[in-house]
Structure 1
């Protein structure tokens, strides 16, 4: 599935940095790129090299850190944020424009690895509450003939939707697209959220209604 994802770590605690580094180094799909206590120190240590993903441990008392720390001209295309304050207003203000995951700081190792892989593939990993708050302040880019607003699907999401219409399972979709089962699940979650679907059949029906699927 290509080169390993280069992962850098920002965490104030040396213990947390060591734990996350061990997690990255234990995964064959990831490669450890470096770590530091803050973003500026990390940028200095990376010497201009930009990792694919940064894992950022946001301690409760460091609520200003993301906004200040990633405005350094060397921000990566993807961010995994570990925080105990996922419902705080500053989280939404701090989000970069590109792929992002927000997880609790006590997330399981498998969840962190899956989220790193997901954001490296250009996906968001957010709770339904955060998604709702983000969408509430946006004007959807697509308007259907019925007047119901629908988020535009990515080309990969349309591929997954077409395979759903063909009746393929998650494992079959993963095999055909050469991605992991977890990545398929993230695509499905994004599809369901954008289409307002609650299951695979409804997603296909809504995809046909909105012109994403042609049978």
Structure 2
């Protein structure tokens, strides 16, 4: 199996590559859409192409459409540090092989890659199912970014990991953590995570 991973964030791209290669999958990389299309034409066909939604050249879903038009890229999916529901739905409607959040654990990421390369469609259930999160009493107290940080805390991630997932600095995450503690009445990250779980926010 050979896949292409296109992402302009060097560290994150290298991390994704390490996960996938460790599972015995051959990987080619590119830093932007033009590089990805050139790689597909020169080194394809690929079993799967993963495109970062926010990298240079993508222009929202236009990049996805352009890539899917190439014969050597029959299976194309999006990856993103954030996963807006409307983008997921639009990508799937356009024929994408799936939508992969960069927050997926390594094992889940590899499973998703294999799943999509085999011809299936992969989208986390929480991105397709209707959500009542925005009307949740706890969610109403927090900004969108604070909710994302709280989700990271609930998943047991460190500030450094959350910063990497959201492409923010660690001091910025610390500030969000401090603010959300105050808003929901938590004294530490464990309390915050427990509150979110007990109230079934995620």
TM-score (norm 2): 0.52
Structure 2 unaligned blocks of 5 or more: 131-202
1:87-113 per-position Cα deviation (integer Å, ceiling 9, x unaligned):
34233223342532x232221111110
Matched, 1:118 2:130: no
Matched, 1:36 2:30: yes
Using the alignment, how far apart are the partners of 1:10 and 1:44 within structure 2? 11
After the TM superposition, which residues 131-170 of structure 1 pair with which residues of structure 2 at under 5 Å, given as runs?
Answer: 131-132=128-129
Using the alignment, how far apart are the partners of 1:106 and 1:99 within structure 2? 18
Kept in 1: contact 2:115–2:121 (CA 8 A): yes
Using the alignment, how far apart are the partners of 1:48 and 1:18 within structure 2? 19
| Cα distance, 1:71–1:87 mapped onto 2, change above 3 Å | same
TM-score (norm 1): 0.49
Aligned residue in 1 for 2:14: 18
**TM-align CA RMSD:** 2.9
After the TM superposition, which residues 91-102 of structure 1 pair with which residues of structure 2 at under 5 Å, given as runs?
Answer: 91-95=88-92, 96-97=94-95, 99-100=97-98, 102=99
Task: Give the number of the structure whose residues are more often helix, by fraction.
Answer: 2
Structure 1 unaligned blocks of 5 or more: 134-215
Q: How many residues align?
A: 126
| Cα distance, 1:26–1:129 mapped onto 2, change above 3 Å | closer
Using the alignment, how far apart are the partners of 2:70 and 2:21 within structure 1? 23
Using the alignment, how far apart are the partners of 1:119 and 1:108 within structure 2? 16
Shift of 1:42: 1.4
Of the three residues 59, 74, 79, the one matched with 2:76 is: 79
